[in-house]
Amino acid sequence: MNGFISLVRDLLRDNGLPDAHVYCDKCIELPGWYRPEKKWDLLVVADGRLLASLEFKSQVGSFGNNYNNRTEEAIGSAVDLWAAYREGAFKPSLRPWLGYLMLLEEAPGSTAPVRTREPHFQVFPEFKDASYARRYEILLTKLVRERLYDAACLLMSDSVNGRQGVYREPAPELSFANFASSLLARLIAESKTR
């Protein structure tokens, strides 16, 4: 995912954010509330204020186990960050921007319907026969609508054409353009208030 991290770093630089405010190789730890610290993939910190935190994840194969792990990570990281923010860990920061980008392998295992198990209670209808790709779309949409993340992006690419940069965005709401626009709008607005 280093290429995506570099792409976003370059996008920030091209829109006037100094390199000194963007962290993506080192100094990427933030305090948590439920754990001492967590490493984020990209941070924007200026004048002692946390402006943005971003996660970049990918999944190739092992869709069942990895989907559940990614879901728990995404929810847990956001809940931990917002609890730390609530408790003043990032003072004097205003509410930081939080983003999540997922690159999912487009393969039969990620696009085929998946059966749900309902031994005691029914799952919500949107999950019935939903592929792992659809489940990621549901997850990321809910994370944004619940305001755990300010924006999320879902990209899909197969293992052959992906190396040539071929990808698709299965949900317009989760496009890279929306993700980047939201981040840039927040950072540009923040820069005008300093």
Q: Six-digit token pair at 50? A: 């946390």
Vertex 190, ends 149 and 82: CA angle to 5°?
30
pLDDT score at 58 = 87
| Longest CA–CA separation in the chain, Å | 55
Chain CA centroid to CA 31, Å: 18
Q: What are the tens digits of pLDDT across the range 143-164? A: 999 999 999 999 999 888 878 7
Residues whose CB is less than 8 angstroms from the CB of residue 36 and which lie 6 or more positions away in sequence, other chains included: none
8 A C-beta contact, residue 133 and residue 114: no
Place of tokens 């280093």: 2
Specify the DSSP element, H or E, that contains 59. strand 49-59
pLDDT score at 192 = 64
* Whole-angstrom distance, CA of residue 15 vs CA of residue 193: 16
pLDDT score at 3 = 77
Q: Judge residue 137's burial from the number of C-beta atoms within 10 Å of its C-beta, 0-12 exposed, 13-18 middle, 19 or more buried.
A: buried
Average pLDDT in the chain: 91
Q: 23 pairs with which residues across the strands?
A: 43
* Residue of 36, 73, 34, 72 whose CA lies nearest to 55: 73
Boundaries of domain holding 27: 2-193
The number of beta carbons lying within 10 Å of the beta carbon of residue 44 is 24
37 pLDDT above the threshold of 80: yes
pLDDT score at 160 = 82
Q: What's the number of domains the chain is made of?
A: 1
| Confidence label for 25 from pLDDT (cuts 50, 70 and 90) | confident
13 pLDDT above the threshold of 80: yes
| Confidence label for 19 from pLDDT (cuts 50, 70 and 90) | confident
194 versus 21: the higher-pLDDT residue is 21
136 pLDDT above the threshold of 90: yes
pLDDT score at 2 = 76
Q: What are the tens digits of pLDDT across the range 62-111? A: 787 788 889 999 999 999 999 999 999 999 889 999 999 999 999 898 88
pLDDT score at 194 = 59
193 pLDDT above the threshold of 70: no
Q: Judge residue 113's burial from the number of C-beta atoms within 10 Å of its C-beta, 0-12 exposed, 13-18 middle, 19 or more buried.
A: exposed
Question: Computed from CA positions of residues 148, 141, 146, 44, in that sequence, does the dihedral angle turn out positive or negative?
Answer: positive
| Confidence label for 134 from pLDDT (cuts 50, 70 and 90) | very high
